[in-house]
Amino acid sequence: MGNLKKGTAVEEKVVFTGNQQDFEKFRTWFHNEMDEKDRQWITLAAQAIAKVFQDIVAERTAKNTTTPMQTDLHKFSDRRIKIVQEAIRQYGAPVTLDLALVKNKKDVIGSAWAEADKLKITEDHLKTWHDNIDQSYIVKANRAVLKILHNAIYPTGKANTKANQRLQHIVDTAEIRKFISGENTGDEDEWKTNLWQVPAVQVWSNLLFKIRQRPGRPPARCYHEWQNSDLLRRRRENRNYGLDYLQKFQRGACFLELLSGQRSTGYDPKPCG
């Protein structure tokens, strides 16, 4: 599934098996890589979201809530999204992004990146430049990070395992592959002020939460995985089996009543199923 060439030093650095015991080493490498590329805003925003997820788990535990937890931010209520936004702000992700954007604009435009008169353009024209350069930077960073995570978990030439298959609904979806290939969704202009919408932030926050939420135990199940799990399938089968067994039991009870003379042959069969 991955795109890295087999045997390269890069592949050896970033491969993650999907097993919990290997995650901390990969997480450390990944965060260092983001620091070097001025993409700390992605890891900071993701850590903030993962912390919100953990707080929700604690809240649900206190209320003895047993239904699967929703980790799709697009399905969060407005109240939850405000909590997420505030957490991202407290972690310093927006400020870190702003600094990265300033550095990028200097690299693209030059030292006069904020001076329209020196560039011999209007202020409106300069603002358009800045907006386009900022959006391009964020989109490229998102694509690069998604590619790193995807190729790390699904490297070329290696068969899938149960461990990395458990992460497929997070890292290897059709939507993620579209982003990696360079397709846009049309809402990229909102990412700068809504970092929780950046797919790379969502993917890394879900990995942090899923793998690290319960140390020493199997990774937490998200709503999507639970919906497609063998456990839910067995529950459905057992429920259907139970209904079928009840109907057979009712018919059998009616038959015994007929034999004993407690019920006439002209009885309404509806109560017997």
Domain assignment present for residue 156? The answer is: yes
pLDDT of residue 185: 80
Q: What is the mean pLDDT of the chain?
A: 82
Residue 234: which pLDDT band, with cuts at 50, 70 and 90?
low
Same domain, 146 and 176: yes
Domain assignment present for residue 185? The answer is: yes
241-250: long-range pairs with CB below 8 Å, 24+: 246/273, 247/273, 248/273
How do residues 1-45 score in pLDDT, each as one tens digit? 444 344 334 434 578 998 989 999 999 999 999 999 999 999 999
How do residues 47-72 score in pLDDT, each as one tens digit? 999 999 999 999 999 988 888 888 99
Same domain, 151 and 105: yes
- Alpha-carbon gap, residue 133 to 136, rounded angstroms: 5
Overall domain count for the chain: 2
pTM: 0.74
Same domain, 200 and 242: no
Domain that holds residue 267: 233-272
- Alpha-carbon gap, residue 234 to 209, rounded angstroms: 26
